[in-house]
Structure 1
Amino acid sequence: MTTLLPYDVESARERIAEAARAVEIRLGPNALALAAARLPIRLSGGEADLVAAAVLTVLGDDLRQAQAAWEQGGAALRTCLLPGCTRQFDLIASVSGAEPAREIWSSAGWMQHRALGGAACPDHAQALWASGQHVPQWRREADDDIRLVCECGWSSGEVVFRGHGITLWQAHALEVLRSP
């Protein structure tokens, strides 16, 4: 699988400067006088367009190379929503129907849960959701009281933001999985 590294700004700066230096501009007498005095020279619209086109060509090439590397790597891995579980599946392969790059990235048995905004691996999905006993849903108790409740009767209590309720349910799920 191809790994995309963070954008190399220094390398891009060098390539852009090289492209800009390759642009040929004919300077008139006023611009030559400014250059001799070491003062900045303002480019005309056409000259600025030439430099901008050179810069955009470099950036466009970088974007196309990044896209090609992503397409070649082709994996968008999603991790099980339960803390501590490192199992993953390849979302792109799952949606496209293609085989994942690695067998362990298969989406077989994974279950998506909209209320939680994530997916559980086959083991956790089976243990928590197959019985229907630990399926969480968002419930509005009052105008300003929204909570995540579980079929087993557990409730997050009032939450201020979605991530708080999801984290509390994850803790609940871990407790359920630890109990005999």
Structure 2
Amino acid sequence: MTNIMTDITPLVPRQLVPSLAVSLVGGGRFDIAAENPERFTMLVFYRGLHCPICRTQLGDLETKLPDFAKRGVSVVAISSDNAERAERSKREWRLPNLRLGFGLDLRVARAWGLYVSTGRGMTSAGVEEPALFSEPGLFLVRADHTLYFASVQTMPFARPHFADILGAIDFVIGKDYPARGEVNNLPAAAA
């Protein structure tokens, strides 16, 4: 097995995000460099077909797509699943309107700060986990391709709720609230 671990530099708010381009179920490609939303692109990285929590999360997201669109937010969900598994997710999870990207290279996942797990066999959903896959993450990227918000997880549990994200976006828009967490180099401690 190839070692995919690389030196990871954390993403920094207000800085450009890494490259990201994947195929979409149903045809076409998603490329973050080509996105031109009114306000944000929301990237929802999900674990894949094997994950029942992802199914629930993306089902909720499907129902809220019009709410994100009203706020000028384009949305895509992405996994490292292959085309067949992603097509099954879109069909079986009833996600007709959600752009579903697949084939996320795990090196790209790591560049985005996502954690990678090894498969552990059959899940409670009755689907085999892939040998390697990325764990969940949620990112809001401004139209200028700089990072605004990031939430990265090591486990499938306790993800941000989309109703909370919508409320936060309303606050951000109303208050012109800046991206936070932008300090990357801390000053030396006073002696």
| Alignment TM-score > 0.5, same fold | no
TM-score relative to the length of structure 1: 0.20
TM-score relative to the length of structure 2: 0.19
Q: Which has the higher strand share?
A: 2
Q: Which has the higher helix share?
A: 1
Highest RCO, 1 vs 2 (Cα 8 Å, sep ≥ 6): 2
